[in-house]
Structure 1
């Protein structure tokens, strides 16, 4: 399964083949000028009046996503299933690797030719919604054409920007503390548990360092998702409206917490911490053997397991687990100016609520958003790491708190600045207070 790491510049786009129309039939009540026939997929959309079919009643939707070959194959198969059930709808499919995806999407948008449907994540959803690029899906949700009734409420709400539903969660994810179970068993050490305080976690990590001779925990001071959870446990948040939801003092306390952990030998040395700050999942310290834990997303467990022969476990981040929430691993959004927005929304509804297609897609974009179908998919999973991920996240869902607001414009810069400031403190070039000042000032500039 692919993590929801924001793409960066680099790889060329790949153009897929078009799926031919194979059967007659079309979307019920789709267009006044088109012949109305029975819809083979339940829940047809008929909210707007902007949809335009060709003279033959056919519609071609453009769709753009990022991911690897496996995701591309699954997505193409899912879209072929839609065409099979709605023969007058075909797709112009474009996908590419993570690198360069948002550069390409920005270019398409600036050129006035965004795809009808596109994949997006929480680093950029607010930015695209603020530009009125994304269609407000609330109307479709309210009239049942886009069914989120089986979603965790906080999951679909995590697509709301300024009161508008800008993106539909393609899957669910949450924060996970992954630990090396084999290492702990070998040394007779206890496993971490959900609900331990941050101080208890650091004390546990110090004991692991002493007994196992492997640093007990990756230093999480540069991990934005860990900082975010910690802030929510303090009654704060990463953002509040169009401003930051925390103070310099909050950041100072966070950096001091981890300086204390480093001073106690609970974490690796700065050079190794820097290694762990890399976003590449294959370089996380829990699988390179340089720390007993790593701070990741729960859905990254299977990818981590591919890179180690050791048994791994996963629990919530330290502190009150209700600070975690049902995060959209990524979203599907519809271009506001699409000539086929009603059909595009129906495709979204199909991708998350049709049992056949949800079973096909599995957990590639996170755990299925539809809880009923998530159970169906879970029953079919054979990969032990994936099974554990589903079990842990399903258990954590019982304690999830309300979703925070979707990150504001500049979030990707805020994340980068946290790493920069945290490393200044990790290497001892700045005190926690000085690093906090640097980070706060950089954040203010990033969101201005």
Structure 2
């Protein structure tokens, strides 16, 4: 009789244990995992992200987080150390400027098996892939476009820029606008940075200046001379500001911003940056996509991602989390615009009724740019020196200190040397 009672007690305990194990997991996987995660940003982003992590744990009680967050500079100082010791967090925020570098180091997990149908535009998704694989889940809509002073353009009888204008139309528009503007005002600004020309080179169907992690360097001389000879003539014709004035511009400064100060009618802007310009000149800012060529023009994609460490011991749970991060509507409301316009259109619809004009302008840049967009090209690892040299040599051209031919030779020579170094 005692044996029967003991057997019955054992059976009841086993059943109780099984029921407890099944009921404790909620939506989670029942594995009792702790995911480490790190990101950079301002305090507003930190607070919103911590709330989102709490929300995930509420929905998945068996998953907890070990968060780490810091400012931009501290983040990129710490990450290389973690990479060297293979101790990068399970989930990490990644920037487009560094994505390829960490992929080349073998530090990031392939996330191609995460289904993003209906969340990310297929063309954008294809542009994000490296070697046919996806290494970061895009978090926000971002794009490069051009902002313009629609109030002043209307005042001087100048047609507003139109979507999908070509480079030829852009240059002609600048010439026509110059004829209607008073002295001291200019239709467009000068350009001396590498990305300004890279937009043109890729729009014309040529490869980007840097590719294959810096192993391939292509600076098309014919296009280079044609592009910058146009601007050389524009300086003579006062279509762009003189070099000394251009050097004094400071974007988003009320007095020194080229456009907010009323000196230049247009300037480059991204989805993320145009809001600051709108705050400086409320109601006066219009936006249009970058000029295009046969291959398209500009870029429209996320530049901020969540990635998973290739050395993570919790890869599947990490993948579940990063997909949740861009699909859960409650998470979307919690995160708001702390990482820009949400990549998920459904979440954007939820937020849109409460957005300010400055935020809607950013969305308009993306919407205008996405159908013609080319990939976002960041400087290759090891090319910081070249990027600085490019601007230095082109600034010297604008001040009449050297010829275009001399600048090209120096820029091209250094680029090829760095590419050879990367290849070896």
Indicate whether the TM-score tops 0.5.
yes
For the residues of structure 2 that align with 1:281 and 1:152, how far apart are their CA atoms? 34
Decide whether the 8 Å contact of 2:149 with 2:285 is kept in 1: yes
CA contact (8 A) 1:422 1:435 kept: yes
Question: Could you say if the C-alpha distance between residues 299 and 39 of structure 1 is closer, same or farther in structure 2, counting changes exceeding 3 Å?
Answer: farther
Q: Specify which of 139, 158, 170 is matched with residue 201 of structure 1.
A: 170
Q: Distance in 2 between matches of 1:442 and 1:38?
A: 61
From 48, 63, 71, give the equivalent of 2:37. Answer: 63
1:333 to partner: Cα distance? 1.1
Which residue is 1:104 aligned to? Answer: 78
Aligned with 2:231 (options 258, 272, 278): 258
| Equivalent position of 2:145 in the other structure | 176
Does 108-117 or 426-435 show the bigger shift? 108-117
Cα deviation code 1:277-300 (max 9, x no counterpart): x67787642224332211121332
Q: 2:343: which partner in 1?
A: 369
Whether the 8 Å contact between 2:145 and 2:298 is mirrored in structure 1 is: no
CA contact (8 A) 2:97 2:379 kept: yes
Q: Does 1:338 align with 2:308?
A: no
- Find the aligned partners of 1:159 and 1:195 in 2 and give their Cα distance: 22
Greater per-residue helix proportion: 2
Distance 1:334-1:222 versus aligned 2 partners, 3 A rule: same
Q: 1:147-166: CA deviations, max 9, x gaps?
A: 34431113223332223322
| Displacement after TM superposition at 1:218 (Å) | 1.6
1:171-214: CA deviations, max 9, x gaps? 12111101112222333332222233334333433454552432
Cα drift, residue 231 of structure 1: 1.5
SS in 1 for 2:120: coil
Matches of 2:335 and 2:233, distance apart in 1:
44
1:248–1:436: 8 Å Cα contact kept in structure 2?
A: yes
The DSSP-based 3-state class of the residue aligned with 1:424 is helix
How many corresponding residue pairs?
Answer: 394
Query: Which residue in 1 is equivalent to 2:415?
Result: 443
What is the TM-score of this pair, normalised by structure 1? 0.78
**Correspondence for 1:187 among 156, 160, 170:** 156
**Separation of aligned partners in 2, 1:104 and 1:197:** 43
Deviation at 1:87, TM superposition (A): 2.0
Match of 1:349 in 2: 323
Change (3 A) 1:301 1:404: closer
For the pair shown, the structure with the greater C-alpha radius of gyration is 2
**Alpha-carbon offset, residue 322 of structure 1:** 3.0
- In structure 2, relative to structure 1, the CA distance for the partners of 1:84 and 1:416 (3 Å cut) is farther
1:268-326 CA deviation, whole Å, 9 max, x = no partner?
121332344x6778764222433221112133211222233461111011234932343
* Contact 1:298/1:314, CA 8 A, preserved across alignment: no
Counterpart contact for 2:190–2:231, Cα < 8 Å = yes
Q: CA deviation at 1:215?
A: 1.9
Q: Tell me if the contact between 1:173 and 1:366 (Cα under 8 Å) persists in the aligned partners.
A: yes
1:151 maps to 120
CA contact 2:147–2:287 (8 Å) conserved in 1: yes
CA RMSD of aligned residues (A): 3.0
In the alignment, the residues of structure 2 paired with residue 414 and residue 334 of structure 1 have an alpha-carbon distance, to the nearest angstrom, of: 31
Quote the offset at 1:407 in angstroms. Answer: 6.0
Alpha-carbon distance in 2 for matches of 1:412, 1:152: 31
The answer on whether the counterparts of 1:255 and 1:436 sit within 8 Å (CA) in structure 2 is: no
Question: Structure 1: where are the runs of 5+ without partners?
Answer: 1-33, 46-52
Unaligned stretches of 5+ residues in structure 2: 1-19
Alignment check: 8 A CA contact 1:160 1:405 kept: no
Are positions 1:273 and 2:246 aligned together?
A: yes
Q: Structure 1 residues 77, 411: CA separation in 2 closer, same or farther (over 3 Å shift)?
A: farther
Secondary structure at the aligned position of 1:80 is classed as helix
Q: Does 1:426 align with 2:398?
A: yes
Residue of structure 2 in register with 1:86 after alignment = 60
Per-residue deviation, residues 393-419 of structure 1 (Å, max 9, x unmatched) = 22433x235647776434555543432
**Cα distance 1:82–1:115, how it changes in 2: closer, same or farther (>3 A)?**
same
Select 1:237's aligned residue among 207, 212, 215: 207
Question: Is 2:334 aligned against 1:360?
Answer: yes
TM-superposed deviation, 1:127: 0.9
Structure 2 length as normaliser, TM-score? 0.82
Mapped partners of 1:411, 1:354: distance in 2: 39
Q: Secondary structure at the match of 2:286?
A: strand
CA distance in 2, matches of 1:262, 1:270: 8
Out of 270, 277, 295, the residue aligned to residue 268 of structure 2 is: 295
CA distance in 1, matches of 2:157, 2:279: 25
Structure 2 CA distance for aligned equivalents of residues 215 and 35 of structure 1: 71
Equivalent position to 2:103, from 111, 126, 129: 129
Whole-Å separation in 2 of the counterparts to 1:148 and 1:38? 31
Pair 441,365 (structure 1): closer, same or farther in 2 beyond 3 Å = farther
